[in-house]
Structure 1
Amino acid sequence: MNNRAERKKVAAIVTEYRPDSHAEVILGRLLGQFGYKPQIDVVALYLDQEPLNDIGKEAARVNGIPVYASIGEAIAAPHAGLPVDGVLLIGEHGDYPWNEKRQKQYPRRRFFEETFRALDQLGLAVPIFNDKHLSYRIEDTEWIYREITRRGLPFLGGSSIPHTPQVPSYPSKRLRQAKEIFVVSWLGIESYGFHGMEVLQAAAEQRDGGETGIHSVQALEGRSVWAAMDRGEIPEELMVEALRTVSGPLPGHPREHVDVPVVFIIAYCDGVRGYVLQLQRFVKEWALAFRGADGKITAARCESGWERPYSHFERLTKQIEQLILTGRSSVPIERTFVTSAMINLGMEALYTGKKRVASELRSIRYSLRNPSG
């Protein structure tokens, strides 16, 4: 595929394109920055917002890429001569309102609606990549999932973090009998909590029988987190083992340093329990620990690389290219649906102070060896 005319072409639909945004670290690589050698071409761009530090228009100008005024026009890409081979939806960052549940209202459903409309008008059924979760609303999450599966579109979504190396590495077969999985996360409750949900589910789906449904999602905040830990409702031992793996020294126990921790507690239908603990700035990476049926604990950190050029996005970009080139995703769409719904329900539980029965996820079934979607 050395001839540019033979290379796969994609349209990129983004909320904003500024330094260190997801648009820059993904599309920048596809434009040959960060030492990356792309295998596909970005041929059209849509910018939903243009902040004062926008670099999207200049990147487009330098690379001869038209910036279109609508999503439909960008996907049609009339200047390209042939239809695009894929669509990249990067709906992260930008000046969007927050709701009462502390969720940023990114226009992801609108991005999908206009993308589906454009594909229908053009008679296309091409792969779609969606950065992070599907929506901040559970109803929109369900609708997007149904539409993608109904249309049979190749799809890759979610977080970059599950694609990172785990240090120290361990045989994945240890997860087959996992009974408790604990993830340490940080910073934004929803935005980074979703990454934590993805780390959790990427581990949980590897248990024997695959994913068999989620019963409920609970959330605790502040001192109630440590009180629940003292009562034995949250496994402190797993938290401690996960923290042992993070890079750099820690000042002590997080209860002495984290003012307002948040924990999401996931009860799976088969009895497995998952925990995602948000520790603000106490750590600067994700780590997990899990306990097997034999009681043994395995722990590792996600080697994410949080300085430019952000190596975790290089791995994600390679996964995006494989989606476009082969029409096959490295991640089951069911995982993206499950993690999107979990963070939706988790933020609702945090807002109401009540455990949320996950009726939307009770019947979800999938296996990495035999994904249904």
Structure 2
Amino acid sequence: MNARSERKKVAAIVTEYRPDSHAEMIIGRLLGLFGYTPQIEVVSLYLDQIPSNDMGTAEAHTRGIPVYASIEGAIAAPHVGVLIDGVLLIGEHGEYPWNEKRQKMYPRRRFFEETFRALDRLGLNVPIFNDKHLSYRMQDAEWIYGELTKRGLPFLGGSSIPHTPQVPSYSSEQLIQVKEIFVISWLGIESYGFHGMEVLQAAAEHRQGGETGIRSVQALEGRSVWAAMDRGEVPEELMIQALSTVSDILPGHPRDHVDVPVLFIITYSDGLKGYVLQLQRFIREWGIAFRDASGEITAARCESGRGRPYNHFENLTRLIELMVLTGCSPVAPERTLLTTGMINLAMESLHLGRKIDSPQLRSISYSPAENFVL
């Protein structure tokens, strides 16, 4: 047997596979592109949509990977002759409707439903990766989490950005007594805002006692962001410290450049305050600043790599492989459930124009997964 045939095998379930898509960045690496040496093998593919610039069909044909007409077919992968070892759900990009809350309605629950059905029929219990959050609707996210838990399936979800190097680096021990965390983010309110939420939560979960839930979520938009900052309700000093870590920043204060900033304010059950500020195109990176109980501030940027091949997908791809190879997720699944709720309630708060209490998030408690060496 050759090395390729001995590698663990996964099915990839994708909304859209075109240049610069998450599918290209993750599956491409697993196909050996971008200088990446894969440890697992993509053996089947399902494409929910095929745009005019689709590249998934040709890539699969070139490599002898069947493109199945259904999710169940891709997971069964009868051409392989053995059962698969994992499923990758990459439900990002594509032409899908938007709801009144400015959320893109990706078919992530449908992807999970059909995946569970296929696994049950085959009697399989294999790891599942889900790109970004679970659903634009919290009821669906809770259902997905419940089904994963009931089946005992190893699960890795969420964003690529928390897995990037922090520059300058800091220890998770510095977060044990954290009191305030401020994340600067950019571009799409929901799509990039979720990255910001994940950066926030990846830091917050390291405080003493782990995660104990969230009390409320509030969103501010436009001039109300700067007004709240002027009233001292939002820590401007933390924003400035976070901005000091990023490169290619415009001169001056962001209020001089950003017409419609969006700020998410997260109040945790234990009193921790989290802020995620969307600054449109004022920055092109994510940054974080946090204050501990003594008042000391630590700040860093997320070294994501701003051009192709988008280096932030490299560590995420390695974590996907690690889960498939070991059967253990390097991220607590509760983080993905919690950040799903955070972005969903933030978009609801933005839509309604008021703070939203979050009883469904108050009961989500967990400790971060052990550190994994990539």
**TM range, smaller chain:** over 0.9
Q: How many residue pairs get matched?
A: 371
Shift of the alpha carbon at 1:228?
Answer: 0.6
Shift of the alpha carbon at 1:72?
Answer: 0.4
Alignment correspondent of 2:144: 144
| 1:148-199 CA distance string (max 9 Å, x none) | 1111100000000000000011122110000000000000000000000000
Using the size of structure 1 for normalisation, the TM-score is 0.98
Shift of the alpha carbon at 1:30?
Answer: 0.5
Q: CA–CA distance in 1 between the matches of 2:170 and 2:109?
A: 38
Q: CA–CA distance in 2 between the matches of 1:2 and 1:250?
A: 53
Shift of the alpha carbon at 1:370?
Answer: 7.8
Shift of the alpha carbon at 1:369?
Answer: 5.7
Q: Does 1:3 align with 2:3?
A: yes
Shift of the alpha carbon at 1:248?
Answer: 2.4
Alignment correspondent of 2:129: 129
Alignment correspondent of 2:328: 328
Alignment correspondent of 1:247: 247
Alignment correspondent of 1:304: 304
Alignment correspondent of 2:171: 171
SS in 2 for 1:43: strand
Opposite residue 176 of structure 1, the aligned amino acid is I
Opposite residue 364 of structure 1, the aligned amino acid is I
Using the size of structure 2 for normalisation, the TM-score is 0.98
Alignment correspondent of 1:279: 279
Identity %: 75
Alignment correspondent of 1:290: 290
Opposite residue 271 of structure 2, the aligned amino acid is G
- Would you identify which runs of 4 or more consecutive aligned residues in structure 1 move more than 6 Å? none
| 1:217-269 CA distance string (max 9 Å, x none) | 00000000011111111100100000000012432100111000000000000
Opposite residue 153 of structure 1, the aligned amino acid is L
| 1:124-160 CA distance string (max 9 Å, x none) | 0100000000001111111111111111100000000
Q: CA–CA distance in 2 between the matches of 1:368 and 1:141?
A: 20
Q: Does 1:13 align with 2:13?
A: yes
Which runs of no fewer than 5 residues in structure 2 stay unpaired?
none
Alignment correspondent of 1:185: 185
Task: Report if the CA contact (8 A) 2:249-2:283 is conserved.
Answer: no
Q: CA–CA distance in 2 between the matches of 1:36 and 1:47?
A: 23
Name whichever of 357-366 and 282-291 sits farther off.
Answer: 357-366
Please tell me the root mean square deviation across aligned C-alpha atoms, in Å. 1.2
SS in 1 for 2:313: helix
Shift of the alpha carbon at 1:36?
Answer: 0.8
Which runs of no fewer than 5 residues in structure 1 stay unpaired?
none
Q: CA–CA distance in 2 between the matches of 1:151 and 1:325?
A: 19
Q: CA–CA distance in 2 between the matches of 1:314 and 1:203?
A: 20
Q: Does 1:229 align with 2:225?
A: no
SS in 1 for 2:290: strand
Alignment correspondent of 2:203: 203
Q: CA–CA distance in 1 between the matches of 2:3 and 2:279?
A: 49
Alignment correspondent of 1:269: 269
Alignment of 1:86-165 (within 5 A): 86-165=86-165
| 1:62-96 CA distance string (max 9 Å, x none) | 11000000000000001010111000000000011
| 1:90-116 CA distance string (max 9 Å, x none) | 000001111110000100000000000
Opposite residue 329 of structure 1, the aligned amino acid is S
Alignment correspondent of 1:63: 63
SS in 2 for 1:201: helix
SS in 1 for 2:176: helix
Name whichever of 83-92 and 245-254 sits farther off.
Answer: 245-254
| 1:263-312 CA distance string (max 9 Å, x none) | 00000000000000000000000000000000011000000001111111
Alignment correspondent of 2:358: 358
Q: CA–CA distance in 2 between the matches of 1:245 and 1:219?
A: 25
SS in 1 for 2:216: strand
